Structure 1
Amino acid sequence: MGDVLVTGGTGNLGRVVCEKLREAGHEVRVLSRRPQPGHSVRGDLRTGEGVPAAVEGVDTILHLATAPRGDAEACSRLIAATQPRGPHMIFTSIVGVDRIPLAYYAAKAECERLIETSGLPYTIQRATQFHSLIMRVFHAQRRLPLMFAPTCDFQPVDVHDVADRLVQHVDAGPRERVPDIGGPEIRSGHSLAKAYLGAARRRRRVVNLALPGRVFSSFRAGANLAPDQANGGVTFEEFLAERF
């Protein structure tokens, strides 16, 4: 099996992906701005320093790194560092990046476009929101007397389910844009808030919060959902049970 370079390998998804890749017998390098113990290689996507050397000899790049700003620029530097050899580029994106007018989502959509027009063999995998993100939304309100829940639906997916799919893409080779992956259930914000409170053993009244603007109109219209791809295996309650 060829070497795999993982950007964002110390993140929520990246740690699980690296573990599963090694279990499957892959040699894994993790791109890091600073030397790390283990299988890390030094490279900085913010400047491009060290990235050409980091990608040298790899057959597959799993681009999981993300940032509030500079996603497209980092993606461009990574693509440029692969030329002219061109390893298989696997990119994780988000369901709805082309329909929800968030700056962060627009940057992800631009990364997709850069990869699609790069000439590289590629696979783009979109996923719905992670369980951990939904939990953080409610955990941030833990000291409030009320729990506010957005009046839209979510389809949270477990990082292990997404990681399994990404490892399959490494083994299968380039497939361009593949079907989205979503969690096993589409749930209202209210029901997810109640599930969080139950797992955390807290008593709060859940107040539905209807937010204005185009972003939340897109969420209310279901642009963040993948109802035909409800193939994740871990429910929100099962995720919470491991954490409380």
Structure 2
Amino acid sequence: MNTATQTTRLYHSPLSPFCRKVRLVLAEKRIEVELVEERYWEGPPDLRRRNPAGKLPVLRHRGNMLAESQAIIEYLDEAVPAPALMPATPLERHEVRRLCAWFDDKFNSEVTAPILTERVWKKITRQGYPDSRVVKDGLRAVKDHIDYLSSLLETRRWLAGNSLTLADFTAAAHFSCLDYISDVDWDRSEVLRDWYATIKSRPAFRSILADQVPGIHPAPHYAELDWG
């Protein structure tokens, strides 16, 4: 089989920010993709074959199996150049990568992972009731992140500068997971709310807004483009 004609396939979990960032970039690049949901907590036997680290997402593109969300989205930006989602200069690209790491490391460990673990994954995997103290810590932490991001957006059109980049899709992936369960205080920052409303209105967001996680209903405003 010609590897160039193989179906692009993403092995993913719907409410994972790392999977969502890849989905958003695929959609922004207008790459048709088949989504295959993996119930990773059940230890699907093929997951480690696709990615020895046993982590999602895994993307099959042009016959190659690709792992690690940041590596995947940078690969996609190089493999499918238009529209470009990395800026032209080394310093600008550094800022994009810095912010991607901010969300995938700091924001995830302080906010996304603890809140989703307690409010979503414990229910789905039947591991008990949420720990309200962990949730409250996450909700406290998100306020500091909102304030920091708002300070960036006071002087920039997008998070990393004046053009839409991988940093915006990485951030939006995390915020969209939290917004699904209504855990973002959008009233805290009008500028961040406007940023999210703008990126949420892009065609690339359509499949994300259509997500339905069994047993976990999205917030009433989740799929609305003009909410509040």
Of Structure 1 and Structure 2, which has the larger fraction of its residues in strand? 1
Of Structure 1 and Structure 2, which has the larger fraction of its residues in helix? 2
> Per chain length, whose mean CA-contact separation is higher, i.e. which structure has more relative contact order (CA < 8 Å, sep 6+)?
2
Give the greater-gyration-radius structure (CA).
1
